[in-house]
């Protein structure tokens, strides 16, 4: 249960409202080499919430802007950027707005439990402080590359998700990749737009113990 020590900024905003995220830092305390060496899949989490700064850094590493020309933290085939990124936490469901580095609240309910059920009952999805859900708008890529674009989308999400895993490690957090889920159940649980297809779920939180 979220308390006042959690994320009041996210709890207070109404559905449809936006929450500006703190500016991400391009420098951290851990080298990329150390993050690679330390990264492990973790499935046991403490109930402690993340900070808004943690969330900012994770989402920036996934899809955030890294230049004034529009380049992002993760590459995308033909710069088509088919991914849409959501954050599920105790305070609701939010969509990451890349252009202005904000969160848009799309649901006020804690959807981590139904998300865990949609992920074949993997309980750690509900226990992690947040889950980052990557969805794809396939037409952005397939309109240029046809059927081959489906492969490019899967490559794109791999780039973005690995950034999240390494960023989590650098922040002293833990994560686990989740691909075992029923697409239609995730879409229903999160009430996703019909053209936003879920393709990857990344629970992130403080490791237990």
Question: Burial of 70 by CB count in 10 Å (0-12 exposed, 13-18 middle, 19+ buried)?
Answer: exposed
User: Percent of the chain beyond pLDDT 90?
Assistant: 97
pLDDT exceeds cutoff 80 at 154: yes
Domains of the chain with CATH codes: 8-205 (3.40.109.10)
Name the band, by pLDDT with cuts 50, 70 and 90, for residue 4: very low
Mean of all residue pLDDT scores within the chain: 96
Task: Find the mean pLDDT for residues 145-171.
Answer: 98
User: Percent of the chain beyond pLDDT 70?
Assistant: 98
- How far is 13 from 91, CA to CA, in rounded Å? 9
- How far is 142 from 40, CA to CA, in rounded Å? 33
96-129 pLDDT per residue, tens = 999 999 999 999 999 999 999 999 999 999 999 9
46-86 pLDDT per residue, tens = 999 999 999 999 999 999 999 999 999 999 999 999 999 99
pLDDT exceeds cutoff 80 at 2: no
pLDDT at 1: 35
The pTM of this model reads 0.96
pLDDT exceeds cutoff 70 at 157: yes
State how far the alpha carbon of 123 is from the alpha carbons of 36, 157, 160, in Å: 26, 23, 24
- How far is 155 from 149, CA to CA, in rounded Å? 10
pLDDT at 44: 98
């Amino acid at each position: 249960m979220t308390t006042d020590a959690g994320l009041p900024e996210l709890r207070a905003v109404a559905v449809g409202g936006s929450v500006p995220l703190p500016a991400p830092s391009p420098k951290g305390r851990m080298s990329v080499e150390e993050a690679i060496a330390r990264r492990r899949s973790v499935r046991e989490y403490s109930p402690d919430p993340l900070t808004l700064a943690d969330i900012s850094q994770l989402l920036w590493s996934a899809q955030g802007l890294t230049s004034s020309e529009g380049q992002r933290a993760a590459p995308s085939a033909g710069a088509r950027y088919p991914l849409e990124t959501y954050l599920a936490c105790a305070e609701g469901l939010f969509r990451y707005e890349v252009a202005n580095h904000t969160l848009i609240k799309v649901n006020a309910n804690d959807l981590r439990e139904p998300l865990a059920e949609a992920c074949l009952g993997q309980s750690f999805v509900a226990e992690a402080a947040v889950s980052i859900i990557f969805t794809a708008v396939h037409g952005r890529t397939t309109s240029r590359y046809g059927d081959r674009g489906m492969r490019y989308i899967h490559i794109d999400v791999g780039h973005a998700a690995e950034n999240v895993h390494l960023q989590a490690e650098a922040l002293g957090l833990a994560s686990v990749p989740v691909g075992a889920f029923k697409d239609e159940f995730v879409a229903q649980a999160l009430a996703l737009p019909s053209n936003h297809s879920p393709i990857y779920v990344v629970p992130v939180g403080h490791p237990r113990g």
